Structure 1
Amino acid sequence: MDFGRPRGRWAARRRPRRRGALPAQGGSAVNGFDALFARAGDALVAVGRSSDDPEGFARTLLGTLAEPGDGVMGRAIAHVGAVATAQTLLGRPDPAALAAILPPEAAAAPKTVADALERWMPRLDPDAYLRSLAQATRVGARLLLPDDRHWPVGVDDLGVHVPIALWVRGRTSAVAPMTPSIALVGARAATGYGEHMAIEAAAGLVDRGFTIVSGGAYGIDGMAHRSALRSDGDTVAFLAGGIDRFYPLGHEDLLTRIVQTGAVLSEVPCGSAPTKWRFLQRNRLIAAASGATVVIEAGRRSGSLNTANHAAELGRPVGAVPGPVTSPASAGCHRLLRESDAVCVVDADQMAELAGGAGGFGAVALFDDPTEAAPRARGVHPDTVRVLDALSSRAPRTLDDVARRAGVEPRRVMAVLGALEAEGRVARHPSGWVARRLAG
């Protein structure tokens, strides 16, 4: 894939600074770090890390605490390194101790610091962390870190929202800076026209030496992956949940085939569920890891528009395939062509030309914030999405349990639940909260 080493203004972001233990933390946090590191040692070796390198341990641990794209965690790691960040958090710090490892502009926002601790500390469970590592070893997962030669350096353009680490099943070299790449995305409920265009596009791009990147979903994603495999090409799938359990279940065979010749990746640890929020965050990786993004077919509210928006924000070229003007399944593509800098592409030649011009188009986003694009477009706040993801329609869950699952601070969860209860979307029971199924 075309993930060459960064140049220009991105080069300075390539590697977080590594530092040792923070003197202010005293012995308990460091001892806790060393003790848990020792317990995790064999599992870390099994996923491809050295037994005497604490970086892999620190990053895998931090990945269990923060939701994908957490900017506060990203700032801490960029400022003092993953090891010092993990040492601090294992000491269960107060807000002042966390502020000490953040850059001045972040430390100067006390509510931001306090909210981050409320999100992360309920998830600090050493036994759950070790179970996740054990599951990774069982499925043969490998761990990629930013210093590794096979790290897809295009994701570094995400700045403080860069993945803490990546879990991989398959060939880690499939995401190395070796061949050009292009993301083909689109609707799950694809039409025959959309599937035909995805098949033709993927086959033609593979013939031109491109690796096909997508999300492993039904519809356009699946057709693009299958066509690349049938053409003996490389294809890479980014998942929203842990790579120990392929999702969707109906694509287990397809994803297994991708593992044999390409790679399946995720930034969340094994055992993580593929929630709506994580799908939206996964889309930023598809966009960042590709030289260009092409939306093959998409409805007006398709999640693939979120991927296109991420690509535009990153300065990556965006293409859209036009469809019949009477087809709702192409309304999203037409929206991209009308409202953004997306380029009309109709075949593999034009898509390859688009990817070859990476960086030549303006970064004009379809929405205000690519992290929140799709939910914002429907008038839904991201915290609401995450709280609804964390609820069950059958088993009541306590406030603390919902907060831990959602990665949202408890007082914010309480406010969201109150609003949802007023709308009739959740119900309060003596033992907790449940989601309500709405008619229609």
Structure 2
Amino acid sequence: MEGERAGAGEPERIARAALTRVIEPGDERGGRWLSQFGARELMARFTLPEYSNHENAGLAGITPRRLAGYRIRAAAVEPHRDLAAVAAVGGRFICPGDQEWPTQLDDLGDARPIGLWLRGRADLRKWALRSVAVVGARACTPYGAHMAAGLASGLAERGWVVVSGAAFGVDGSAHRGALAAGGATVAVLACGVDVVYPRGHAELIGRIAEQGLVIGELAPGDHPTPSRFILRNRVIAALTRGTVVVEAEYRSGSLVTARSAQQLGRFTMGVPGPVTSGLSAGVHELLRGEGVLVTDAAEVAELVGNIGDLAPDRRGPVLPRDLLDPVSARVLEALPARGAAGGDQVARGAGTTTDEALGRLYELHSLGFVERRGDGWQLTHSPSRGSNARRGGP
């Protein structure tokens, strides 16, 4: 594609910076024009007089009304001013063809970002290679906030970059969890990277810009809209190895991110919650489909990581009786819960000989599992070896 061949060139970069004010994020028709003509030629068709008499400026599928809207926007852009504005806050603009461009964003096809505005010192391409998205409800419960922070801190400690949207609720908890662990985090905004949104996260976004990266498709000063939030989610999904959803209702932008991840062939995970909570309903629906249930960072890393990134085995406590050999365990099971039994009775219950049963009973006696009662044997009823605990009772 012509745009990619010239991606790192200065004229093409300036034209792409200009187009971020003309074409909305995720506009696939605009993406096709960009692939066909390149950024400089596309801007020319929006701005130069020689195209003004063309009904559609040679752009397939465009209506006169839509073309007029593009031209109004294009006439007002000042890309050099925008580039200076992002530089003033310590930022930069990257586009396809640049060394820092994360090529996994190319999986979006015609919906690929025209370019990305960044704040922060880290290399986005390197960070994105080992990144996980943690997203969820804005109005999350304390459980959701706790799980998001724990997942993020655990992932950060394992060297994973945590990506989210800097919103209230789960997003903010995920960013804070990563920062608290001294790890890396990326905030993908639905506005200009110099715009603080939500306002209540001014300090958090500032910390992310210092310790991590703040990125977005929109030019400096641009403000978010509902559609931009939804379209922002495709970038989160494409940028990362997998997406974890922590609390989401049936209608949730977080589920949009998860579905985008599925369509792109990324891992999709969900953290279960109470079945009585509406905030967990969307996650549970995800888990009924192709989503994978996860409960901590180790399970996430096992799924999205390399061979050898295994989560620890999950099992209950090992009880003394678990260490018995099979015959001794059968002999122990053959004893009644109350009262005593003779060797012959125990042997019949255990399916072995009387001599074998007696030998095992003496071994169990030395281990403290059983005790003699006259000519019979009974279970030990001491506080530390009560029969119910050993027999799996309540």
Q: Same fold (TM over 0.5)?
A: yes
Q: Give the counterpart of 1:316 among 257, 260, 266.
A: 266
8 Å contact kept, 2:272–2:295: yes
* Structure 2 CA distance for partners of 1:81 and 1:18, relative to 1, 3 Å: farther
- Per-residue CA deviations over 1:73-94 (Å, capped at 9, x if unaligned) read 2111111211221222221635
Instruction: Tell me if 1:67 matches 2:24.
Output: yes
Q: State the distance in 2 between where 1:117 and 1:174 align.
A: 34
8 Å contact kept, 1:287–1:310: yes
Whichever of the two has the greater Rg, that structure is 2
TM-score scaled by length of structure 1: 0.65
1:64 match: secondary structure: coil
8 Å contact kept, 1:174–1:234: no
Name the residue aligned to 1:376.
Answer: none
Name the residue aligned to 1:81.
Answer: 38
Q: Give the counterpart of 2:293 among 331, 344, 347.
A: 344
Name the residue aligned to 1:384.
Answer: none
Q: Unaligned stretches of 5+ in structure 2?
A: 308-394
1:184 match: secondary structure: strand
Q: State the distance in 1 between where 2:128 and 2:173 align.
A: 24
Q: State the distance in 2 between where 1:78 and 1:179 align.
A: 25
8 Å contact kept, 2:102–2:124: no
Quote how far apart the aligned CAs of 1:136 are: 2.3
Quote how far apart the aligned CAs of 1:253 are: 0.6
- Per-residue CA deviations over 1:147-170 (Å, capped at 9, x if unaligned) read 111112221110011000100010
2:266 match: secondary structure: coil
* Structure 2 CA distance for partners of 1:240 and 1:246, relative to 1, 3 Å: same
Q: Give the counterpart of 1:198 among 143, 148, 164.
A: 148
Quote how far apart the aligned CAs of 1:145 are: 1.1
8 Å contact kept, 2:15–2:79: no
Which structure 1 residue ranges, 4+ long, deviate > 4 Å from structure 2? 94-99, 127-131
- Per-residue CA deviations over 1:128-154 (Å, capped at 9, x if unaligned) read 655544432332221111111111222
* Structure 2 CA distance for partners of 1:221 and 1:175, relative to 1, 3 Å: farther
State the Cα RMSD in Å.
2.5
Name the residue aligned to 1:227.
Answer: 177
8 Å contact kept, 1:179–1:209: no
Quote how far apart the aligned CAs of 1:119 are: 3.5
Q: Give the counterpart of 1:121 among 66, 71, 75.
A: 71
Identity of aligned residues (%): 45
- Per-residue CA deviations over 1:208-266 (Å, capped at 9, x if unaligned) read 21100000011111111011011111000000011111111111111111111210001
Counterpart residue identity of residue 58, structure 1: A
Counterpart residue identity of residue 120, structure 2: G
Name the residue aligned to 1:211.
Answer: 161
Counterpart residue identity of residue 304, structure 2: A
8 Å contact kept, 2:43–2:74: no
Counterpart residue identity of residue 16, structure 1: E
Counterpart residue identity of residue 55, structure 1: E
Q: Unaligned stretches of 5+ in structure 1?
A: 1-12, 20-48, 359-440
Choose between structure 1 and 2 for higher RCO, CA contacts under 8 A separated by at least 6 residues.
1
Q: Give the counterpart of 2:12 among 24, 30, 55.
A: 55
Counterpart residue identity of residue 295, structure 2: V
Q: State the distance in 1 between where 2:39 and 2:77 align.
A: 20
2:96 match: secondary structure: coil
8 Å contact kept, 1:72–1:116: no
- Per-residue CA deviations over 1:292-341 (Å, capped at 9, x if unaligned) read 00101112222111111111111111001110011111111012112x31
- Aligned residue pairs: how many? 306
Describe how 1:36-435 pairs up with structure 2 within 5 A: 53-91=10-48, 93-94=51-52, 96=54, 100=58, 107=60, 109=61, 112-114=62-64, 116-126=66-76, 129=79, 131-176=81-126, 179-338=129-288, 340-356=289-305
* Structure 2 CA distance for partners of 1:14 and 1:196, relative to 1, 3 Å: farther
Q: State the distance in 2 between where 1:178 and 1:308 align.
A: 17
Q: State the distance in 1 between where 2:300 and 2:112 align.
A: 26
Quote how far apart the aligned CAs of 1:99 are: 5.8
Q: State the distance in 1 between where 2:38 and 2:53 align.
A: 18
Counterpart residue identity of residue 349, structure 1: A
